[in-house]
Amino acid sequence: MRHSRLIAAAFVATLFTVPTFAQGGPIEQRQALMKLNGRDAKAGGDMLKGAAPFNAAKAKAIFISMNDVANKYGALFPANSKTGFETEAAPAIWEKPAEFKAAVAKFQADTSAAMKIDVSTQAAFGQQFGKVTANCKSCHESFRIKKD
């Protein structure tokens, strides 16, 4: 009786740990980071469009958060992470590693520069936001393939 309870407990533990482990894989990690980027871009865009009030502290925090993503992102594309989890990563990431590396480095440099610049006015923030988010499409042009 006691033994079977132990087995059940172990089974339940497996149920919970397996998905947790999967979420920790590189594909899901990079997907989560990209979602953070999207959240930050939306927060910035809303402030610039007037959909949300401009907040200087929030403006700065956006670039700090994006820079953090930029620094973690490039390492999450090991050779065994080309497929699965509905990844939209393009084969070009592994076929043209130097170009991909350069694209990540540019995102790191642009977010790092934006972090250090005074963005306490909406205009100053808008200028940096434009530079930083130009990385989204320049990278997605070559390195992402939409499933639908």
Partner 1 sequence: MKALTRLFIAILLAGGAALLLTRPKPLEATAIAPDSSGVSARGERIFWAGGCASCHAATKAKGADRLKLGGGAPLETPFGTFHAPNISPHIDGLGGWTLAEFANAMQRGIGKSGRHLYPAFPYTSYANMTPGDIADLYAWLKSLPPVAGKASENQLSFPYNIRLGIGAWKLAFAGTPGPIAPLPANASEAVRRGQYLVEGPGHCGQCHTPRTQNGAGKLDTTKWLAGAANPDGKGRIPNITPAALKWTAPEIADYLATGFTPEYDSVGGTMVEVQENMAKLPLEDRAAIAAYLKAIPAVTSGK
Rule CB under 8 A: is residue 24 a binding residue for partner 1? no
Alpha helices in the chain (DSSP H): 2-23, 26-49, 56-73, 92-95, 97-116, 122-143
Give backbone dihedrals phi and psi of 36, rounded to 5 degrees, phi first.
Answer: -60, -45
Rule CB under 8 A: is residue 38 a binding residue for partner 1? yes
Contact stretch for partner 1 (CB under 8 A) within 24-32, 40-48, 68-76, 108-116: 40-48
Answer for which of 9, 13, 32, 145 binds partner 1 (CB under 8 A) is: 145
Site for partner 1 in 92-131 (CB under 8 A): none
Answer for which of 42, 72, 101, 116 binds partner 1 (CB under 8 A) is: 42
Cβ neighbours of residue 6 under 8 Å, at least 6 residues apart? none
Answer for which of 24, 78, 91, 97 binds partner 1 (CB under 8 A) is: 91
Q: Using the minimum distance from each CB to partner 1, give the nearer residue, 53 or 148.
A: 148
Over the range 28-61, which residues count as b (16 or more CB within 10 Å of their CB) and which as e? Answer: bbbbebbeebeebbebbeebbeeeeebeeebbbe
DSSP, collapsed to helix, strand or coil, labels residue 55 as coil
Nearest Cα residue to 130 out of 68, 53, 63: 63
Rule CB under 8 A: is residue 50 a binding residue for partner 1? no
Answer for which of 36, 41, 52, 56 binds partner 1 (CB under 8 A) is: 41
Q: Using the minimum distance from each CB to partner 1, give the nearer residue, 11 or 148.
A: 148
* Site residues (vs partner 1, CB under 8 A): 38-39, 41-42, 45, 88, 90-91, 133, 136-138, 140-141, 144-148
